[in-house]
Amino acid sequence: MTPDLMAKGTELAQAHAKLEAEKKQGQTESGGRSAGFSRMHKLGEVDTAHGRILYLEDVCVSFDGFKAINNLSLDIAPGELRCIIGPNGAGKTTMMDIITGKTRPDSGTVFFGSTIDLLRYKESEIAQMGIGRKFQKPTVFEQLTVFENLELALKTDKSVKSSMLFKLGSLQSDRLAEILHTIHLKPDAARLAGNLSHGQKQWLEIGMLLMQDPKLLLLDEPVAGMTDEETARTAELFLALKGKHSLMVVEHDMSFIKAISGDSGIVTVLCDGSVLAQGSLDQVQSDERVIEVYLGR
């Protein structure tokens, strides 16, 4: 779970009110089509007709004069699993901060699909539109069971009263069961999250993101601290998500990158805040500049 999920309840109401107001004026990205109550966590539809779920062009951001992101341009296709590698300080996390609205760039363009200008929205609104983010450290509710954590991820209003009144619909129950299976935690559904291994907590947090059915998932160093076996199972999990969701995965573990990128996946190498190289893993691994700044000889 991301920390901002906690604040989602109150913010959701505001975002929904804003959407309603926009709808009245026929100004939503979906051209004023009704989003419907059951889908109110999604602000409008994502238009991927142009073959892009995410599009960044010439993005720059400086911190005290230091250009952390420097003319960064990159795009991702719907259903793609994009790997991002690069040295520490390359700007990988900052790029995710920009996409999710945590950091505002000084200049540039950031679009979700071809019509949603992400720079116009707040962090909470971007999450509700279907961009889920997994930070490096797992943040699950340790005192609740695996099942309860997943259930909670569905609840959009976290007040005690509404949580008590909340009941899973049958569709949601099916979805929860499916996600338990996907994240390899079906046998552990009744265990307290605090008793899970580090890797299992990471999977649970990914499951909590999946409960919200994100279109795009940003995962920052997801296998850091995992055992080899957990890493291998995480690779399987990501390959299962590919196609149904678009994924952007930042990792240093090259065997994991190899497993999830396969023969045809695109690997983007970031350095000094922009794209140094891009192509198949074989291509970028044999690129002299990439060897120089990142992989070493």
Element (H, E) at 63: strand 54-63
The gap between the terminal CA atoms of the chain, to the nearest Å, is 38
The footprint of Mg ion on this chain (CB under 5 A) covers a number of residues equal to 2
- Paired tokens of 136: 């490096």
Q: Which is nearer to ligand ADP, 84 or 241 (CB)?
A: 84
Q: Pick one of ligand ADP, Mg ion, none as the site partner of residue 90 (Cβ within 5 to 8 A by kind).
A: ligand ADP
Q: Pick one of Mg ion, ligand ADP, none as the site partner of residue 91 (Cβ within 5 to 8 A by kind).
A: ligand ADP
Q: Which stretch binds ligand ADP (CB under 6 A): 19-27, 81-89, 106-114, 170-178?
A: 81-89
Q: Pick one of ligand ADP, Mg ion, none as the site partner of residue 94 (Cβ within 5 to 8 A by kind).
A: ligand ADP
> Of 120-179, which residues contact ligand ADP (CB under 6 A)?
none
Is residue 90 within the footprint of ligand ADP (CB under 6 A)?
yes
> Of 80-119, which residues contact Mg ion (CB under 5 A)?
92-93
CA atoms within a 13 Å half-sphere pointing along the CA-CB vector of 173: 5
Residue type, 128: Q
> Between β-strands 267-271 and 81-85, what pairing exists: parallel, antiparallel or unpaired?
parallel
Is residue 63 within the footprint of ligand ADP (CB under 6 A)?
yes
Tell me the backbone φ, ψ of residue 216, rounded to 5 degrees. -125, 130
Residue 165, C-beta contacts closer than 8 angstroms, at least 6 positions apart? none
Is residue 246 within the footprint of Mg ion (CB under 5 A)?
no
The footprint of ligand ADP on this chain (CB under 6 A) covers a number of residues equal to 10
Residue 11, C-beta contacts closer than 8 angstroms, at least 6 positions apart? 122, 124, 125
- Paired tokens of 263: 């023969």
Contact residues for Mg ion (CB under 5 A)? Answer: 92-93
Contact residues for ligand ADP (CB under 6 A)? Answer: 63, 68, 86, 88-94
